Chains A and B, each alone.
Chain A
Amino acid sequence: MSEQVSGAATLPAETVAELQELMGRYPQARSALLPMLHLVQSVQGSVTTEGIETCAALLGLSAAEVSGVATFYTMYKRRPMGDHHVGVCTNTLCAVMGGDAIFERLKDHLEVGNDETTADGKVTLEHIECNAACDFAPVLTVNWEFFDQQTPESAVELVDRLRSGDTVTATRGATITSWREAERVLAGFEDGRVDEGPAAAGPSLAGLEIAAERGWKAPDVDQADSKDNEVPTESAEAGAAEADTARAESETVAEESDADVKGGGSDD
């Protein structure tokens, strides 16, 4: 039966215990809120009202506060999800390389729109933003595992296999389980699949392979010379400035270069 957490509607006792375990990992319990919401999704299939109330009660927040956090992040879903989440990268690079065509084909084939679930409840389709795999474009994800260098045809085949319950393996990752099981790992619990899949593949190794062919490598570390000489004397202190970098992103254009390299360059 459900354990009551200060009066609110709640989740199963074992889930509450796991939520508390997540809270215990941080100096301040509220830091666990994002992981807790991942766990709620894995247990309930979406961020439910009970889930929000349970998190709120555990953290001493209002349900509105927790809800305000949940709605900010695209990975949290308020509607029930399909067994599998299929993401199609339609950010510019992937879109141009075929992501747009893949997304159109899948919408057609699955008869759903963006962020909708197939009638059989198997697949929720969503277009996603750049997933840091542009050198493998166009990219798909299934439950946030990579499927690299896809075509409309390979994408259709992939979703058909997911819907028929075939075993599917990521191109760089593990065997596909389910969206809910993936959410549990994201929340903070290992699932024993870490050793599946390669370390790296294809484009990740492009430079390394070319270097190997040509006998190129980083300079040798000269063991004899480098033992202690690299612990130098105090270098120039920066002024009162602070390590603010966010703003610098835009300001780097022309001016970043001189003043801010004081810390480096004093060696020779």
Chain B
Amino acid sequence: MTDTLTPVLSRNWGDDRAWTREAYEAQGGYDALRKAVTLTPDEIVTLVKDSGLRGRGGAGFPTGMKWGFIPQDPETEAGRKPKYLVVNADESEPGTCKDIPLMMASPHTLVEGVIIAAMAIRAEKAFIYVRGEVLHVVRRLRAAAREAAEAGYLGTDVLGSGRTVDLVIHAGAGAYICGEETALLDSLEGRRGQPRLRPPFPAVEGLYASPTVINNVESIASVPSIVSGGIEWFGSMGTEKSKGYTLYSLSGHVARPGQYEAPLGITLRELLELGGGMREGSRLKFWTPGGSSTPLLTAEHLDVPLDYEGVGAAGSMLGTKALQVFDQTTSVVRCVLRWTEFYKHESCGKCTPCREGTWWLVQVLQRIDAGQGREGDIELLLDLCDNILGRSFCALGDGATSPITSAIQYFRDEFEAGMLAPSRELYPPEASMLQRPEVAR
């Protein structure tokens, strides 16, 4: 049995000046890189494949398998092209807040992972595409890349291995859609961030039409620990199909919001108990398991194992493990409207179902929220969702329907109440706030 919490990525976040190379090295940092330079690229790929590491950016795709798709045969045209590694540090899915603290506290963990991953796929150039709205994180990443180059970890001769890895820190400019991996590539090429048609897939034609791996921050940051600890160590945490540890982010009406690093498969009940449960006077009403694009769950799902299979079986998705928790004071209609406004705002406009559909969804939800819902509005919402889900060009459109359909499934009566009374009367917003006026008084 492993312990309930297993800090690996967050282990050094409390250390003095944890973001510096000096502090990182003092606790074993870059030892994994020293080991990795003694392995062949294929050995690293196989190691990560066999570890069972799955992508932490939302979809849970096996990381090593993704790396294995990169064409390496010099006899083929694709195999001869330069390869690229792109780290997705756009972290913008509502509720998701794990990559930013990781990069703020320990950017070298990510940089070390980048170097190892780049060597594994034979990329000489890597990019970290970080959202622009996090100035201090950008500072810490730039400094870490500089320090790593000064130490000979990055550059033309990584630790004397003769291999080259260069790293560019690239700040985005505010667009949720740029977290979608092909939109990210267009953005990184200096264009509007709109998703690309697939195929061709990024593994074959990605950045500059060259083979490209795109991975989430947490996925890449997990690699050094796997190289150091080995597959048995990694697999000793987590479940059969969801191996290892991960960062769970607890927010909302809980006594102790924050980052909890645990083996995959822990439940929300366990996580809540660790931090003292819900906040005073709160009862759990609904929650997202992995950001706003993952269908809502309720108190009846407290014991669902938070791994890819468990949450899937409960009708939702593990997503980014962003556990946004709302109590009985919260209007689900208000929340769903706000998320839908977000999707409407962030829709890139490329395809009609999403561009037009999110606009209509907002219209209908606004009147329900205002207590002016009309007969048939719930069916209209479901019908609109039906026309977006599976018909959109990318997963943003699909995700936009998740909060709506799940909220109607669990809280239909609240939407019906929106035919009669505004949400702010049914659920006065003050009662949900961090600092509740009633309590203060």
Contact = CB atoms under 8 A, between A and B. Distances in A.
Interface stretch (A11-19, A111-119, A156-164, A256-264): A256-264
Which of A172, A232, A261 counts the most B-chain CB atoms under 10 A from its CB? Answer: A261
B68 A173 contact: no
Do most interface residues of chain A lie in helix, strand or loop, or is the interface mixed?
loop
Contacts of B11: 208, 217-218
Interface string B122-136: 000100000111111
Given A131-B134, A137-B434, A193-B139, A231 B292 contact: no
A142 to B, nearest CB: 10
Given A261-B241, A264-B62, A252 B308 contact: yes
A165 interface: no
Contact of A229 (B95, B228, B230, B318): B230
A207 interface: yes
B168 A26 contact: yes
A43 interface: no
A221 B240 CA distance: 20
Contact of B39 (A214, A222, A231, A268): A231
B366 interface: no
A151 B133 contact: no
Contacts of B49: 235, 263-264
A186 interface: yes
A211 interface: yes
A120 interface: no
Contacts of B355: none
Interface in B132-155: 132-136, 138-140, 142-143, 146
A154 B52 CA distance: 46
A244 B389 CA distance: 18
B347 interface: no
B371 interface: no
Contact of A190 (B10, B143, B334): B143
B14 A199 contact: yes
Contact of B202 (A197, A205, A206, A243): A243
Contact of A146 (B136, B188, B201, B241): B136
B135 A265 contact: no
Given A202-B258, A249-B399, A253-B317, A35 B139 contact: no
Contacts of A45: none
Contacts of B233: 219, 221-222, 226, 230
Contacts of A217: 3, 6-7, 11
B230 to A, nearest CB: 3
B324 interface: yes
Nearest to B435: A151
A167 interface: no
| Interface size bracket, B side | 35 or more
B398 A249 contact: yes
B316 to A, nearest CB: 7
A218 B389 contact: no
A137 B326 CA distance: 13
A92 B330 CA distance: 11
A107 B39 CA distance: 58
A216 B318 CA distance: 24
B312 A200 contact: no
Contacts of A64: none
Contacts of B248: 207
B69 A38 contact: no
A210 B5 contact: yes
Q: Which of A202, A204, A218, A262 has the most CB of B within 10 A?
A: A218
A27 B170 CA distance: 13
Interface in A10-62: 25-28, 30-35, 37-38, 59
A253 B259 contact: no
Contact of A145 (B13, B136, B338, B389): B136
A135 interface: yes
16 contacts: A34-B172, A96-B252, A96-B433, A144-B132, A144-B134, A194-B140, A199-B15, A200-B10, A203-B256, A208-B13, A209-B14, A225-B232, A229-B232, A232-B50, A260-B62, A265-B243
Given A132-B97, A242-B69, 11 more contacts: A87-B133, A96-B429, A97-B252, A100-B429, A133-B100, A135-B251, A195-B20, A219-B2, A225-B232, A231-B39, A235-B46
